[in-house]
Amino acid sequence: SMTASNLSQRKAEAEAFKAKGNDLFQSGNSIKAFEQYSQAIDLDSTNFIYYGNRAAAALKLNRNQEALSDCEHALRLSTDASNAHRTKFFYRKASSLVGLNRSQDALQALDNGLALDNAHPQLLALKQKLQQAPGANKSGKKKIVIEEVDSSKDAVVEEAAPVKKSGKKKIVIEEVDSSKEARRWTAARMRVVEEAAPVKKSGKKKIVIEEVDSSK
């Protein structure tokens, strides 16, 4: 078993890692800050501040799943903490869920935070942004048209490249309204392709591209 002096020494070392992490985070070095907070957690895994801070660093790095996990830890460990701390963790939890395309869960986290402080500016701002987002109340499906330049007449099934860490994907597509009418392209005549399924956890999206035969 650990002696009291050993324990207090570990806690002091953990605090030193946290302080270093905070300096790095403030100066914009989120990668190194994340590492320092991890060191602090290794030394003292009962301190919710370390998880909350590491979540902030993870968010800056678009490591949303890790940020979410750290927010859950912080919230579990901070049941007796001040509302100021807990609202911060709910805000970060909501931000990580937005990054994971889980808007409804994000709204729930925001409401949990607002139950503690109904005038919290960050929580209110993010909630307003989410409620105004296009497609927030829709199924999350998008109709897309893709111009296929391949000369083959076969239907092509193309697997999109895995989503990068940022969670953003560059695909050359034109978003169209949901009408079923065929669109005429100058280079090739295309039909509106079927709706792409929402992105799965793997970050891959199957897109079906069908080329409309242009022979007379």
Give 158-212 pLDDT, tens digit per residue: 344 444 444 444 444 444 443 333 333 323 333 333 344 444 444 444 444 444 4
What tokens appear for 144 in the block? 């897309």
Of the candidates 179, 171, 155, 156, the one whose C-alpha atom is nearest the C-alpha of residue 204 is 171
| Residue 1: predicted pLDDT | 58
The answer on pLDDT for 83 being more than 70 is yes
Of the candidates 199, 190, 213, the one whose C-alpha atom is nearest the C-alpha of residue 103 is 199
| Residue 105: predicted pLDDT | 98
Taking only the tens place, the pLDDT of each residue in 97-148 is 999 999 999 999 999 999 999 999 999 999 999 999 876 554 444 444 444 4
Task: List strand residue ranges (DSSP E) for the chain, in order.
Answer: 144-145, 156-159, 174-175, 206-209
Q: Is the pTM of this model over 0.75?
A: no
| Residue 122: predicted pLDDT | 97
Q: Confirm if 113 and 123 have CB atoms less than 8 A apart.
A: yes
